[in-house]
A and B are shown apart, each in its own frame.
Chain A
């Protein structure tokens, strides 16, 4: 189950006593209710990852390529707009359109598992690099403040950042165990705070440069020996002019880590989904472009060369704060503010990495790539706690291994980012030929020739990514070695789990959600939990035919209406049936599909299951309990629409003696509708 699902309620209702009552017992099972978020919240979640890189990217890239670093960071940020387009196209095809899903559809399971493994490397490192960087900033600030308070301490930035990073990771582990709502709220607040900091910082830096003009950073590349990796041994590389540029671009690429979060949050974005995804993409592009690129330029132009890397390599924005114009106390205040915001946003990035990795692993588990055990739900919070534990465990190991070295983490980090992009872009390109369904969004620059539409734009993006990824293999030793080992290990785990699953479930399995169950005693109490003005109840039965649900979702105004997707488990006999509050495979499949459709529309649905010996009584009783103003059902295979309406009207009257209006709607094929107001 996705961490966004919330356990809403369940109810167990006994019919009024009396001989021959049709409804003998109704069990409403606990339902999973999806909640959807605005594009601002979605942007905040992605930016917590993407924008936080501003805090460490400048220092890492300059250590690798020299003072020209800002130009390459700018290039990477501009290129991220193209990557955003790739993600938008894949999301337009698959609601759960992360790397694994898209690569699998295009090129099969093996490459999909490989790309997902690379992506996991990215996520597992995102958390530690962010949390460790936060620790570095905090240590730098505390060391700067201690003398002012006559405290003779000096913190070791390395070990302090390790302790801090572990504490932050454990804190967000617990937040994720509890569920995502708190996290998206926090993400929004973090980004609001970051925006204030960015505006203050930009203005102050602008004033500094106005008073003390400085030249733009040079274009000259000056690779450190570490940044060259194995390249010096490959003499044939030297004469190729573009190699240096590609190498530098590759060292800067981690600036756009976090784009994958776009695919992860797409599932959560409210309607209109694609429009809101476009807005999210634009917001994160503009924001990260301004914050990450500008701060990198300002850092090189304002911080003196003598201290920029030696003293502030791991906390560049602190250096920037202490190098702007103004009295010492004001700069110290600015540094405190910058560090405060940095600690918060970097810790937020640590959280985003847990959320993102959990999302990816959930998709894999749903697809049978992880053994079912991993999908077990937390008894109290209903989250996939075992997956969260796995991710956080790996992150804590990484934090301990790096011993607070941000540069080392940055070196390794780009491996997962770039290779997941390579696979993803290739997959979207392959799908252009393999699946010619119309898309809501396509990466631009498509040329029609010979009756075929050639995806030139996609091909160019792919070539840039492939060249960069290949070059990184040569130049980034740490990334290549650690990334290969990690990816191979995860690939092995996925492969083993998949085979184990196939052995246990010989029939294979469709993608299914996990549902928690909780029992209540009063259906009317359940109805009272709906707070919006209107309620609509829609009957669902066949996962392959959800026309009424689609229609209801098309029309739904989430501001004032709540939608209940209802199904009845029909049992014969009139005696009390002690049904267990567990769904069978068909019901799980049905509700999984219901949630998928709801996700596609970006609107909330509350699924409900009732056990009864008469489906008409069951649906009418449920509709009356929730106070439905409309009741939608599909055309029956056995009854005409008129007979269905007649039976519903009779049942409605027999169960309700007062007269609130209701509209009954029978939805047939191609949207043909029969309705009646009662």
Chain B
């Protein structure tokens, strides 16, 4: 199961002094869910490999999870201009965040937005429970914020999952 840290729960309107939930990204990852896909694979194949790795670790059904990812991917793009693709889905039957990272040595053209290149894919599942949606959004913001172009550049040059994980940990501080 993934971890998140609730540093300060929101107590009032934004800007009134309340701080949002802050999600730590690095603790969500481990070497077995960090992949370096072979050159030439497309986004669909990367999603399959990542889903399989994440579900294997968490003991979840990869087919159901992958279906949820595809369902979300059919909607508005999850690729950002930093080079990060951020596929995600809300999954019933889980209690915490499940996440995995794929690092591409060679940029991949985003199938939905050909003008954008994908250099890293961060896939995550959050619990499909009403109270978990704020965490889901926090994670989206947190991952998008952490995986800026300089970090992705370094990840592309990493020697393997352990090196990549160390870079993420170092970047998050």
Contacts and interface: CB of A to CB of B under 8 A. Distances in A.
Indicate whether A and B interact: yes
Contacts of A643: 75-76
A529 B10 CA distance: 28
B15 A534 contact: yes
Range for the number of chain A residues in contact with chain B: 20 to 34
A650 to B, nearest CB: 5
A650 B117 contact: no
Interface in A637-675: 639, 642-643, 645-647, 649-654, 656-657, 659, 661-664
Interface string B130-168: 000110111011111110110000000000000000000
Q: Which of A18, A663, A677 has the most CB of B within 10 A?
A: A677
A20 B134 contact: no
A574 interface: yes
A494 B149 CA distance: 62
Please report whether the interface of chain A is mostly helix, strand, loop or mixed according to DSSP. Answer: mixed
Nearest to B10: A677
Given A18-B149, A646-B88, A677-B134, A653 B14 contact: no
A21 B86 CA distance: 16
Contacts, number: 95
Interface stretch (B31-39, B51-59, B77-85, B94-102): B77-85
A146 B87 CA distance: 90
Contact of B14 (A639, A650, A677): A677
A541 interface: no
Contacts of A662: 14-15
Given A650-B78, A677-B10, A657 B145 contact: yes
A676 interface: yes
Interface in A163-213: none
A650 B18 contact: no
Please report whether the interface of chain B is mostly helix, strand, loop or mixed according to DSSP. Answer: loop
A676 B134 contact: yes
Given A574-B115, A651-B144, A678 B82 contact: no
B13 interface: yes
Contacts of A654: 80-82, 84, 144-145, 148
Contact of B116 (A20, A573, A656): A20
A367 interface: no
Q: Which of A20, A645, A657 has the most CB of B within 10 A?
A: A20
B108 interface: no
B103 to A, nearest CB: 18
B22 interface: yes
Given A649-B137, A649-B140, A677-B134, A656 B145 contact: yes
Given A653-B141, A653-B146, A661-B18, 8 more contacts: A20-B115, A629-B13, A630-B15, A646-B88, A650-B144, A656-B145, A661-B20, A678-B14
> 6 smallest A-B Cβ distances: which pairs?
A629-B15, A653-B144, A663-B14, A653-B145, A653-B141, A654-B144
